Copies of this chain bind each other. A is one copy, B any other.
């Protein structure tokens, strides 16, 4: 796919499949919450972010989430997205221990405030999924 003839509709369909594989119903909830106000933003999340970018085989899903966790931690103020992607990270095979280690690692590059906000977001997600306390 993603050749010169791929249509807008095909990208959307492909994006929906990838989004569901990565984010389960969390992705669908974000899309739904945009319906009344910004349907084109919703379309681009699915068709572009997931259909064009995530769908590419050049980087494994687990690798994509590692990079994403790093970016969202560094950005700051992206806790809602961090929550979605900590869930996504668990869905694609990162362990809770690896996710926490990612945030410990981030202290070197972003400092402790960004890292602590990320850890507390993970604490919320892990609690919801019954993963606490970590061994």
How many copies are assembled? Answer: 6
> Given A7-B7, A59-B102, A132-B37, are A69 and B70 neighbors across the interface (CB < 8 Å)?
yes
Query: Interface on chain A toward B: helix, strand, loop, or mixed SS?
Result: helix
Give chain A's interface residue range (CB within 8 Å of chain B).
35 or more
10 contacts between A and B (CB under 8 A): A30-B116, A34-B119, A37-B119, A37-B133, A44-B52, A58-B98, A59-B98, A59-B101, A63-B102, A76-B77
Name the interface residues of A6-39: CB closer than 8 Å to any CB of B: 6-9, 11-12, 30, 33-38
Contact of A7 among B6, B48, B71, B134 (CB under 8 A): B6
Q: How far is the CA of A3 from the CA of B43 in the complex (A)?
A: 12
